[in-house]
Amino acid sequence: MEKFVHLKAIAAPLLRVNIDTDVIIPSREMKGVSKTGLSVGMFANWRYTDVPARISNPEFVLNRAPYDKAHILLSGDNFGCGSSREHAVWAMKEWGFRAVIAPSFGAIYYGNCVRNGILPVVLPDEAVRAIAAWVEASPAANQVEIDLPSQKVHAAGVAYAFSIGESDKDMLLEGLDPIGVTLKRDPAIQAFEAKDRMQRPWVYI
């Protein structure tokens, strides 16, 4: 995975509550198990006035410049609730999102973000709305900065602190998925197996 250390980018405000994973990627848009080819179906019911024909809805925020180049999404409470479909995170990652800032997240969605290189940032609702109002005043110029090592979001001259679990932070900083985290302990695993082969050779027959 790509490491997440520092990001300064355009942020797109989508301040709706309870945006579930079926909204992020409708089930009909999931035509395979690959992580690619999903971004075109992201927020399909909102992005298109005619979904099958892929006719863009000019009113939807991600269809408007400069938000169509956003790498940060600002959203409302309980973002990513609903089903556990990892395709929702895959679609957002492929589209270009590296972070989502919201007052709260669906628990499984939050974990899927971390494991796929997207930083989920929890900030109070009033903070998210203040950032969104500042961004909307000049979206291209008023870019949001996120510094993961210091756990701060910088916007409008304010530094907003956020919390993140130590293991989640390490995974993002190092660009590791769960398999990569396990492989960091490969020498210890191999040493255990070598010792175990000596003590219980019958297990390996």
- Between these two residues, 148 and 188, which has the higher pLDDT value? 148
The pTM of this model reads 0.90
Q: Is the pLDDT of residue 190 over 90?
A: no
- Report how far residue 85's alpha carbon sits from residue 67's, in angstroms, rounded to the nearest whole number: 25
| Full set of structural domains in the chain with CATH | 6-174 (3.20.19.10), 177-205 (no CATH)
Q: Which residues of 53-72 are buried (b: 16+ CB within 10 A; e: fewer)?
A: eeeebeebbbeeeebeebbb
Closest CA to 176 of 116, 93, 98: 116
| 82-108 pLDDT per residue, tens | 988 999 999 999 999 999 999 999 999
CA 32 vs CA 36, 38, 190: distances in Å: 9, 9, 35
What average pLDDT does range 34-50 have in this prediction?
Answer: 95
CB atoms within 10 A of CB 179: 8
What average pLDDT does range 38-62 have in this prediction?
Answer: 97
